[in-house]
A and B are shown apart, each in its own frame.
Chain A
């Protein structure tokens, strides 16, 4: 069974602070995606990373894929209340049984004004 550990599980910060969310595994992923989910809605894709060491930026969000493609991080600069939500990472890997998809447990972020 593959595991994708996300940390922290919960994060409550003030507007303007920076934060980093981590997604770690012992498995190698061919690609890793980050989603954000708001209450009452389904997750929405933020970014996909596929190359070890890759860094992608989306406004104040910076995503990094580990060199070994086993881990990833999401860094938010100057967080705003609109960043509040559940952040999920999801990794695809190729196993003996074919393609496998694993979701992390999520990081619930609250940004207070």
Chain B
């Protein structure tokens, strides 16, 4: 079975550019989560969706960050404009329902120069 698929795996771009990260959850999973991980701050929950609806976006750091889930099989996390402090590994995870075990993708390593 295919797991959570994230793209791209790596992204290097200059500050000020728009960055779009993509996620395909496991088929049949109703909940989707976006995380950011750095050595300094650890794993931070940014936002999560249930049945394609954003439930909690309190972890989104600034208005420069936005996330959408137009359908059950696709989600995006967008940063516009990007800044060097946004450099991190961004993970997407999905689960059957909220509070159920999450399956993580392999992450997108983002570097903003």
Contacts and interface: CB of A to CB of B under 8 A. Distances in A.
A97 B58 CA distance: 11
A42 B101 contact: no
Contact of B56 (A42, A44, A98): A98
> Which secondary structure characterizes the binding site on chain B?
strand
Nearest to A9: B42
Contact of A43 (B43, B44, B45, B55): B43
Interface string A82-110: 00000010001000011111011110000
B55 A42 contact: no
Given A42-B106, A98-B55, A98-B56, A88 B101 contact: no
A14 B58 CA distance: 41
B110 interface: no
Contacts of A113: none
Interface of B: 4, 33, 42-45, 48, 55-56, 91, 93, 98-99, 101-107
9 contacts: A35-B104, A42-B106, A43-B91, A43-B104, A92-B98, A97-B56, A99-B98, A100-B56, A101-B56
